[in-house]
Structure 1
Amino acid sequence: MSNAPHYDIDPGSFWTDPYPDLKVMRRDKPVAYVQQLGATLITRRDDIFVNEKKIDVFSSVQPDGLMSRLMGENMMRKDGDAHMAERRAIFPTVSPKTVATVWKAAFEAATDRILEELKPEGRCDLVEAFAMPVSAEALKAITGLTNMHFAEMNRVSQGMIDGCANYGGDLAIEANCHDCTRSIDDHIDERMPEAVANPDHSLLSVQLQAGLAESQVRANIKLAISGGQNEPRDAIAGVAWALLTHEEELARIRSGEATWLQAFEEYARWISPIGMSPRRVAQRYELDGVVFEPEDRVFLMFGSGNRDESIFDDPDRFDVTRDTAKSLSFGAGPHFCAGAWASRCLIAEVALPKLFDNLPNLRLAEGRDVRFGGWAFRGPLCVPCVWD
């Protein structure tokens, strides 16, 4: 185990709002062992940015890790040539060209349909009624699992997210995660003959076309669902909430001073939907006086790095005109999020502008609190809204 100084957290409070603890850690113990999480946390932006790239030390290969055990050995849990081979195989699905020429039209059609059904209601929870189905319909198209209902896509994604963050070893959470991965496998089984017979740009199809083993195909689809549903869902609802509670920032977008993409990038810095990435220490290494030993568990705390006071002025403030170039929202090294282009398109080019254009005088419902939760993955739990 590393000789890092210890820092104690209250797990419940940390889940509700991790930022106060992370601020103290950045200031006093930027590399600290948190017994309640069973890991050493790296909290300063530059330490994360530099060391995420050192895959010979901070390895993504974690055969005994929660993600590997629950979802299979996907490309996120591989480094070097093995990682790049699978990344190249899926590129035809997630490339900027494919996003622009194939997926954007699908995103627009699904979003228009959802808003048409929603508009007469006059009120909703943006998480459940808008962001969730918009994100799920996009993911159905991208993965090729068009036979899965959007609510089931959301359920299995949440189940895997909960399972991968289940550092407390809750057996019920683990069992639910296994049920979710079985559901995905069943839907893959049903869609595979069509994907073979009629190749397309979907993740299922391009992996089969590339000759990846079936176990790899399945593991990477589960990875895409675990990261491709909750994060866009939480970002869509979260950015909407941020703009509705910061009217001057929304006015900047309306006037053309700022863009929807800037709003999304700033939100992803400010309230990081992906708050951390785990690593396994592969060899002895020293950082800031802390000596890591092989097999230590390390968490790269993206959410903390994104509020590092040495990098961002007034980092706790939401500012759509901020320069977010140094944020870690999509990662920083060879594991930079492969779905970044699709996320930007779905959220900034489709979901947000269509939401505000189609629901007149959209506003938060009076007397209803908006609560956030999570530190590994973070988002609003409910965003009650009304419109004219």
Structure 2
Amino acid sequence: MTHAPVYTIDPQAFWHDPYPDLAVLRRDAPVAYVPQLGATLITRRTDIFEVEKKIAYFSSEQPDGLMTRLMGQNMMRKDGAAHLAERRAIFPTVSPRTVRDTWRAQFQTITDRALAEIKPRGHADMAQDIAKRLSGEALVAMTGLRDMTWQEMDRVSQGMIDGCANYAGDAEIEARCHDCTASIDRHIDVMLPVLRADPDASLLSVQLAAGLPMDQIRANVKLAISGGQNEPRDVIAGLVWALLTHPDQYALVQSGHASWMQAFEEYTRWMSPIGMSPREMAQPYTLHGITLEAGARVFLMFGAGNRDETVFARPDVFDITQDGSASIAFGAGPHFCAGAWAARCLIGEVVMPTLFATLPNLRLAGAARFGGWAFRGPLSVPVVWNT
């Protein structure tokens, strides 16, 4: 329970564009209960940055939460020593050194091969045809589920994302999520003897080597897929759209006055593909005079914090020259996204420069469509290029 002020939303309008409501909440009610979401939202950047670290109050352990019930208790739903132990176990897969020495070359091969196949067409949907594939093939390699197609990787990721955001309790969405997690388990089973005989740097392999229990291994692979597919996919397509709709920003990159990595960091601040992270109150905590009682569900709204007017000079503007160092796009506390280095490499170092170099005169062929608030990205980005 909480005694926070109540703020009502239109769920459909919020899904299409959450930023107007988030701006009002940030200004007038930075701690507010939204009955349509069944949660109290925290929307100011500094508040989120501070409370995410207070795990004794804002707990990630949610045994009755959607993610735990649907995917198992992965490392994201643990705190303290238990979380740290599993984070250390997976580190050999996602460390900056492994990304540099192992995954970067594979990312480049994946990108070159896919674009060589697509280039003669002269047109595509950047979200559906290109970003899904590049993200999916990269994740196939990193998870170790080498017999899974990129199409299936995207399907199971989206199914779990929809399931974890299914706060309305839609039975069809839940059933689809269960089907997706079962598919992942089958693919894990296929690869277990392969990776036991011939270990590599993949997530499945390093967890086996660390001796984690099988239920934890499965849960963490599902976690990696739920975030490691849709978020890079959405950033690839969204950043292409952002640069093509902001030619002055693209010109800065082309001229060398700004980098692809600056563009990546600014887009993830501006659009926040991970828009929210849930917590459960372990004990009462007072913020802005409002007491959040034990058991209350709280949403840390990264998408709102990343447009905080008191922190960023031009919060609602895509401007790769502004100081975005305060961004919380990857989180701010002990649950800082473990895949951040891989995402930066895949998108900022490999995909973006290769895309624009390989597809001459890349340009939009129609309006893009965006959606989502817990996870936000483009649904469609039609593009054409010279063949």
* Normalised TM-score (structure 2): 0.99
Instruction: Indicate the residue corresponding to 2:228 in structure 1.
Output: 228
2-structure distance, mates of 1:307, 1:28 = 15
Instruction: Indicate the residue corresponding to 1:375 in structure 2.
Output: 373
Instruction: Indicate the residue corresponding to 1:265 in structure 2.
Output: 265
- Structure 1 runs (4+) greater than 3 angstroms displaced: none
Q: Which amino acid aligns with 1:314?
A: R
5 Å-filtered alignment, 1:38-49, equals 38-49=38-49
5 Å-filtered alignment, 1:297-308, equals 297-308=297-308
1-structure distance, mates of 2:168, 2:350 = 38
Contact 2:114 2:134 in 1 (8 A): yes
- Deviation per CA, 1:29-58: give whole Å up to 9, x if none: 010000000000000000000000000000
Matched, 1:352 2:349: no
Question: CA shift at 1:285, angstroms?
Answer: 1.0
Root-mean-square deviation (CA, aligned residues, Å) is: 0.4
- Deviation per CA, 1:101-156: give whole Å up to 9, x if none: 00011100010000000100000000111111100000000000010010000000
1-structure distance, mates of 2:301, 2:384 = 35
Q: Which amino acid aligns with 2:21?
A: D
2-structure distance, mates of 1:317, 1:369 = 19
Contact 2:155 2:180 in 1 (8 A): yes
5 Å-filtered alignment, 1:1-388, equals 1-365=1-365, 368-388=366-386
2-structure distance, mates of 1:93, 1:315 = 34
Secondary structure of the corresponding residue to residue 336 of structure 2 = coil
- Deviation per CA, 1:8-32: give whole Å up to 9, x if none: 0000000000000000001110100
- Deviation per CA, 1:308-364: give whole Å up to 9, x if none: 000011211000111111011000000000000000000001111100000000000
2-structure distance, mates of 1:179, 1:139 = 19
Contact 2:313 2:322 in 1 (8 A): no
2-structure distance, mates of 1:5, 1:337 = 31
Secondary structure of the corresponding residue to residue 298 of structure 1 = strand
Contact 2:128 2:379 in 1 (8 A): no
- Deviation per CA, 1:209-245: give whole Å up to 9, x if none: 0000000000000000000000000000000000000
1-structure distance, mates of 2:274, 2:314 = 21
Secondary structure of the corresponding residue to residue 36 of structure 1 = coil
Q: Which amino acid aligns with 1:149?
A: T
Q: Which amino acid aligns with 2:52?
A: E
1-structure distance, mates of 2:76, 2:350 = 27
The size of the alignment, in residue pairs, is 386
2-structure distance, mates of 1:115, 1:329 = 28
- Deviation per CA, 1:261-298: give whole Å up to 9, x if none: 11011000100100000000000111101101111000
1-structure distance, mates of 2:217, 2:113 = 30
Gaps of 5+ in 2: none
Question: CA shift at 1:178, angstroms?
Answer: 0.1
Q: Which amino acid aligns with 1:289?
A: G
Q: Which amino acid aligns with 1:302?
A: F
Question: CA shift at 1:382, angstroms?
Answer: 0.3
1-structure distance, mates of 2:170, 2:249 = 41
Q: Which amino acid aligns with 1:376?
A: A
2-structure distance, mates of 1:343, 1:157 = 16
2-structure distance, mates of 1:84, 1:214 = 18
Q: Which amino acid aligns with 2:336?
A: F
Contact 2:276 2:301 in 1 (8 A): yes
Secondary structure of the corresponding residue to residue 380 of structure 2 = coil
* Normalised TM-score (structure 1): 0.99
Secondary structure of the corresponding residue to residue 380 of structure 1 = strand
Secondary structure of the corresponding residue to residue 327 of structure 1 = coil
2-structure distance, mates of 1:313, 1:284 = 34
Matched-pair identity in %: 68
2-structure distance, mates of 1:59, 1:134 = 34
- Deviation per CA, 1:45-86: give whole Å up to 9, x if none: 000000000000000000000000000000000000000000
1-structure distance, mates of 2:371, 2:333 = 27
Gaps of 5+ in 1: none
